[in-house]
């Protein structure tokens, strides 16, 4: 609904002519169009009590003479007030001059950047990487200083860590990932898994999370080194000793990850950083760091389907087919890298990604001994074994590959290295994850939720904490020596997986509450204690534990305080777990109400999940389950200004049932503020009482009951016998202020407070 209050009586005839011709005109409006969709336009002119009704398609942002609109005639028996979809391009005909369409009372309309983009029909574009420089994230812990680089997945920044007092590298994912609820869930689980890796040859993940505005980030150690890809020269092989030195370190780092159930899936020179270091004798040495580990960010490199991710030149045959992966897939990628380092070029190349994938699956590579004269036959055997099409015919583990490579420097070169046992090693396992994580292929836990291997000291401490948590946690909180505190924190880190697997909620709540106190830096808590406590708190995002916690929170009529408090304190990751639990427990009595209450209690921490969930459900709202879940998300939404959440919420005002439309209108008032006024005015014509009442209440909350709104509210009240609608109308009209108040009081007198 749009309103134009014009000073010239002749404007009415002029606009009727433009509408009959389907032409454009620039009009000064009392408020901006809410979206780029079709609106009903009311045109008021002097001497005519009833408005001219037209259909108007917004064509862009306002110019000095008004908003550009394509006009059409309005037939209330045939047309609908809200028609989704973008109108055609503006007519080449000249629109009306400013002198013909002047507002009786000039109004200044201010648009946000997102609103302007919507009216202009622009696709959402990623902000310049420089736009984040100077921003603080992670609760102020990370201050972004400068841009390091940008790519298809996101941008990488140099940042300062407030607590650790060190430079860090922060990867910020592109905006398009923020509204994919499945991606966000995998991001949290796999970032958590990667943050638990601790090996000299792996880049360490220090922090990760999602900001209230949806921004996803990873904070990693800052490496002052050179990417391996930059050191390689076409058709030039590296010396054998350097090949063995580099690949041995790569294998060591990957073996550590595989032993914890994590597969890299994108091993390539671009993800290997060489750092100048010193060995134990203070001699210069090359330290290898494997980067971009275990995070489901390779979706940006998707070349076949959502199940096939990676970089084509380095993908194993089973990865090309989209099959489940284990550590032997990374063995294959290392075989490709060995070939490249030893020969100077890749084993397979082609004009398209698909042609390369087909070669990985069906074509045998040319053996290095046939490409290079006097090539070491033992290295040739190692490379060809690693490049075997069947995983069972490759080295069974990274440790086996590393052992074979190191033997090259210890034995004569006259005979090939003996083949290793092809049987699967103990460090390899099937990748299995909770159903709600969609089994992305890089995070492993067994069907009972227990961790595959836990330090015995962790089990011992877990038992102590269950029996006497207060005593042990008090000792942790009172420890002032850094070495002693780190020792206790390390023991706690080992005990937490046991407590998660056993679902010791009461004990875990006590642990989290203690960490909360330590995580706040103040005069009594040095920065190193706060940083360590925050890292321990990250472990509470463990997906299997959160899944069970969310189930408990929604299934019990009166969930324990520890359950609801842990959900609230964990924040964003818990919101995604609640979403999944809500899907699984649709038939459980009371689950919907508890879901709304818990998500609402998370406040803005739940907003990224709500935005992503609403976007995902929008096309499925004709299904009862999806419509009910969308309604729950809207009811649980924090009442904060958020333009992006408003964008998706506004789309629920059309094509939804009355119940969903009602809660969408209520949420839109908070998300959009006064930008929602045109849509609320349009809802006043709804045949559903609840929708009409929601529109009246929204206009009252926005202090937007002006003369035009008064007339529409009065008409809606007079046209119904509903006492609820009339009460809502009276409440809105009685709170009218300014020049419209006298009109509102007159309107109230035309209908009684209660209809008989």
Would you name the residues annotated as active-site residues? 266
Q: Which residue has the tokens 């990370």?
A: 142
Spell out the residues 6+ positions from residue 289 whose beta carbon is closer than 8 angstroms to its own: 201, 202, 203, 223, 225, 253, 272, 273, 274, 275
Q: Which two tokens stand for residue 149?
A: 């680089």
User: Pick from 173, 139, 141: which is nearest to 157 by CA?
Assistant: 173
Give the span between the Cα atoms of 614 and 633, in whole angstroms.
7
Asked whether 93 and 23 are in contact (CB, 8 A), the reply is yes
b/e sequence 212-249, b meaning 16+ C-beta within 10 Å: bbbbbbbbbbbbebeebeeebeeeebbebeebbbbbbb
Residue 423 parent element (H or E): none
Rounded CA gap, 52 and 50, in Å? Answer: 7
* DSSP states along 209-226: EE-TT--EEEEEE---EE
Sign, Cα dihedral of 16, 17, 19, 20: positive
* Residues 6 or more apart whose Cβ sits within 8 Å of residue 540: 496, 508, 512, 546, 566, 569, 570, 573
Closest CA to 253 of 189, 323, 199: 199
Cross-strand partners of 149: 156
Angle among Cα 605, 606, 610 to the nearest 5 degrees reads 145
Per-residue buried b or exposed e for 129-143, using 16+ beta carbons within 10 Å of the residue's own CB: beebeeeebbeebbb
In whole angstroms, give the CA distance from residue 104 to residue 273.
67
Q: 290: part of which helix (H) or strand (E)?
A: strand 284-290
Nearest one of 55, 2, 54 to 28, comparing CA atoms: 2
| Dihedral sign computed on CA atoms, order 360, 361, 362, 368 | positive
Tell how strand 2-5 and strand 39-44 pair up: parallel
User: Which helix (H) or strand (E) is 250 found in, with range?
Assistant: helix 240-258
**Beta strands of 354-453 (E only): which ranges?**
none
């Amino acid at each position: 609904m749009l309103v134009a209050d014009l000073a010239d009586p002749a404007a009415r005839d002029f606009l009727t002519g433009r509408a009959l011709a389907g032409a454009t005109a620039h009009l000064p409006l009392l408020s901006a169009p809410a979206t780029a969709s079709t609106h009903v336009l009311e045109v008021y002119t002097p001497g005519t009590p009833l408005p001219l009704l037209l259909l108007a398609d917004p064509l862009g942002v306002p110019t000095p003479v008004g908003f550009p609109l394509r006009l059409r005639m309005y037939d209330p028996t045939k047309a609908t007030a809200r028609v989704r979809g973008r109108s055609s391009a503006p007519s080449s005909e000249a629109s009306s001059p400013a002198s013909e369409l002047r507002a009786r009372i000039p109004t200044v309309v201010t648009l946000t950047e997102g609103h302007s983009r919507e009216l202009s029909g622009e696709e959402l574009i990623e902000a310049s990487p420089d736009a984040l420089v100077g921003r603080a994230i992670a609760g102020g812990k990370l201050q972004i200083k400068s841009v390091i680089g940008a790519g298809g997945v996101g941008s990488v920044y140099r940042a300062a860590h407030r607590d650790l007092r060190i430079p860090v590298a922060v990867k910020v994912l592109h905006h398009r990932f923020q509204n994919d609820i499945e991606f966000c869930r995998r991001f949290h689980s796999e970032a958590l898994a990667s943050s638990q890796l601790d090996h000299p040859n792996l880049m360490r993940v220090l922090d990760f999370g999602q900001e209230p505005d949806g921004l996803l980030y990873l904070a990693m150690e800052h490496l002052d080194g050179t990417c391996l890809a930059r050191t390689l020269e076409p058709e030039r092989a590296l010396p054998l000793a350097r090949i063995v030195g580099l690949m041995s370190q790569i294998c060591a780092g990957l073996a550590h990850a595989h032993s914890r159930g994590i597969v890299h899936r994108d091993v390539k020179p671009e993800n290997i950083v060489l750092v100048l270091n010193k060995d134990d004798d203070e001699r210069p040495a090359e330290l290898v760091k494997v980067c971009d580990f275990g995070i489901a960010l390779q979706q940006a490199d998707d070349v076949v389907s959502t199940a096939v991710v990676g970089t084509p030149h380095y993908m194993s045959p089973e990865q090309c087919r989209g099959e489940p992966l284990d550590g032997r897939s990374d063995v294959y990628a290392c075989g490709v890298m060995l070939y490249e380092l030893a020969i100077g070029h890749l084993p397979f190349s082609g004009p398209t990604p698909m042609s390369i994938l087909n070669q990985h699956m069906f074509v045998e590579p040319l053996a290095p001994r046939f490409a290079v004269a006097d090539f070491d036959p033992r290295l040739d055997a190692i490379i060809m074994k690693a490049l075997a099409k069947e995983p069972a015919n490759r080295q069974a583990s990274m440790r086996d590959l590393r052992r074979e490579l190191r033997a090259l420097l210890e034995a004569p070169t006259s005979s090939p290295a003996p083949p290793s046992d092809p049987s699967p090693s103990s460090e390899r396992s099937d990748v299995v994850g909770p159903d709600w994580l969609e089994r992305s292929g890089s995070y492993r836990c067994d069907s009972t939720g227990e961790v595959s291997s836990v330090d015995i000291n962790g089990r011992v401490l877990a038992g102590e904490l269950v029996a006497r948590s207060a005593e042990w946690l008090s000792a942790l909180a009172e420890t002032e020596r850094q070495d002693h505190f780190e020792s206790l924190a390390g023991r706690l880190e080992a005990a937490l997986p046991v407590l998660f697997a056993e679902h010791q909620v009461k004990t875990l709540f006590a642990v989290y509450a203690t960490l909360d106190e330590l995580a706040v830096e103040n005069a009594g808590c040095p920065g190193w204690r706060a940083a360590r406590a925050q890292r321990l708190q990250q472990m509470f995002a463990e997906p299997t534990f959160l899944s069970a916690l969310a189930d408990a929170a929604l299934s019990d009529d009166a969930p324990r305080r520890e359950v609801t408090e842990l959900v609230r304190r964990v924040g964003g990751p818990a919101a995604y777990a609640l979403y999944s639990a809500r899907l699984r427990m649709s038939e459980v009595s009371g689950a919907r109400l508890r879901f709304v209450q818990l998500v609402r209690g998370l406040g803005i921490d739940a907003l990224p999940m709500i935005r992503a969930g609403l976007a995902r459900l929008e096309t499925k709202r004709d299904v009862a389950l999806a419509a009910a879940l969308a309604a729950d998300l809207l009811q649980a939404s924090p009442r904060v200004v958020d333009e992006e959440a408003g964008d998706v919420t506004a789309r629920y005002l059309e094509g939804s049932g009355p119940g969903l439309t009602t809660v969408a209108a209520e949420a839109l008032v908070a998300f959009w503020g006064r930008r929602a006024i045109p849509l609320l005015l349009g809802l006043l014509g709804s045949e559903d009482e609840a929708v009409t009442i929601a529109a009246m209440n929204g206009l009252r909350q926005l202090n937007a009951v002006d003369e035009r709104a008064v007339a529409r509210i009065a008409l809606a009240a007079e046209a119904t016998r509903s006492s609820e609608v009339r009460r809502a109308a009276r409440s809105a009209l009685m709170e009218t202020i300014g020049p419209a108040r006298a009109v509102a009081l007159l309107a109230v007198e035309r209908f009684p407070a209660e209809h008989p």
